[in-house]
Structure 1
Amino acid sequence: MIPNSNSAKIANNPVEPPTERTVWFPVRNRKEVMLEIGRFQSEGVDYLRLGIDCAEFSTKKGKKWYDWLLPTLADSFDLELCFDNFSKSPGKSLIKKQTLPEIVEHFIVVHGEHFDLIELWRNPSCRMKEEIPENIFAEDVVFAATWAKHLGKKVSLGKIQTVDFEWITKLVSSQFLKNIEHIEVDKDGEDLWSSSTGFYERTLRSLFEAKGLEIEIRPNSKPLPNVQVSTTEIAC
């Protein structure tokens, strides 16, 4: 029952219930969110896999928005949080972001009673570096996961691609993956990905088995079309 959807006011075309989708609620009118909550409830949804846009969180309205959104959604749904550690909007790349560990800590300290599991998505810019740092824990997603575990939350890794194999191998060597619940394999993030994903998953399973790691490997769900919500922003 893990939902996955770009949130929005759905345009004309019927859309399947968000039971296997990640739901995104960008900063917007609160009334729109309440309408979405009512729609999900009418479809029998009781669990939301909620996307957190870290770039948006770092804006003036973003933190206040999420601090309203989390308890509001928690009144009606069980939640899992998915942290997107990069901006999907070009304009937001100029924002001075808080670090991923800082953002994760905020959600756990302020809203931790509303969720047990978080999923961390690796920043694609990390894949552009020629060398992986020797101290793997210096990377934001690894440090954030370690800190979240220390604060009592379960942690998973998402959007893992074939180019991450060396990175995953280093995580295995560091014993870090003993703290991970599952890994989500991204079947749609690379060209020609579908032709290699089966081999990649089998290779990872063999590696984990050899190291005595019981980690579930999940394929990601295809996202819904990027439909738009009302452009009216909240006054929060």
Structure 2
Amino acid sequence: MIEIENLYKSFNGNDVLKGLSLKVKEGETTAVIGRSGCGKSVLLKHIIGLLRPDKGDVWVDGQNVKKLKRNELYKLRLKMGVVFQSSALLDSLSVGENVALGLTENIRISRARVREIVLEKLSLVELEGVEHKRISELSGGMKKRVAVARALAVNPSYILYDEPTTALDPITARTINELMLSLKKKIRITGIVVTHDMESAFYVADRIAMLHDGKIIFDGTPMEVQTTSDPIVQRFVKGGGKY
């Protein structure tokens, strides 16, 4: 389980997180919604230990992230797969080499086993037979799938998606939503999806939390989001991710 308690973070005097608290239960997918620039990605960086809070705590599987030593944080990060907004693939490497990065950099493993895992994860995201292709040969949706396969390579307990459907056309975005939902069912992985895409949030999430003015102002099921009387949440939902 991931638990965030009373998290504060500011940059150059600009308060971004102002006492944010959130629980992500094991086996569930939680979508964190909110306008662009509200601090959703900052929250993700705290969870994986890339940022230290000014105040407050992030707990992952009972470990306080900010108190971990470097080697302990390294081990904790192996439990987390991250799918970055830009996919963050290396054009100089093949698809297979990109998927293998987390394995070859973090785990002592034979070359044959690396190849086996790469093919397994590419199959899981429905990209069989592309391991030798260059990244430049792929569509936007295929690049996103490769990024997901790479995130899953080390068999993480958690997968964190940062704006997974941004810059994708509606049809491709829906296929990525279907992939996220399929993965949750197939491998029962716990997920956090940071997004301002309400269609995506409703499609993949068990719970939806809204980040506004540095705090989680709403946390409930997709049905509860649609029926809440909170005016800020209503405007965001009815505006399709804008308010």
TM-score over 0.5 for the pair: no
TM-score norm. by structure 1 comes to 0.39
TM-score norm. by structure 2 comes to 0.38
Higher RCO (Cα < 8 Å, 6 or more apart): 2
